[in-house]
Amino acid sequence: MKAKSKPETLLKQMARIEWMERGKLCPMGARAYYNHQTWEKGRNVVRYVSRQRLGNLQRAIAGYQHYLKLSKAYADEIIRRTRQTQPARSSRPTRQKRTKSLKPR
């Protein structure tokens, strides 16, 4: 049986991520809440998160970070494959020498 290619493996790993959330968490000093900061529709949106919900949100943010890492690896692999299929060419194109046209003055 043929081994699965790396892009297929990466896609399967992405599909296994169950929880995702964008943003970051910032503690609010000695308070019982955290700021969950995200960027939505061109604006910074802040939500307050209690300590009881903190664990699930941290896992979701970590899931999104893992997804970004996997999607970058997937894109890198596809780009690598695309470049392999391109014919090799010199790094510098050759230019044809221009001939000056002689015009009477």
Predicted model pTM: 0.73
% of residues, the chain, pLDDT over 90 = 65
* pLDDT tens column, 61-102: 999 999 999 999 999 999 999 998 888 776 666 677 776 766
Nearest to 65 by CA among 20, 28, 10: 20
Domain segments of the chain as ranges: 6-82
- Is pLDDT larger for residue 98 or for residue 53? 53
Nearest to 70 by CA among 16, 10, 21, 23: 10
First vs last C-alpha separation in the chain = 78
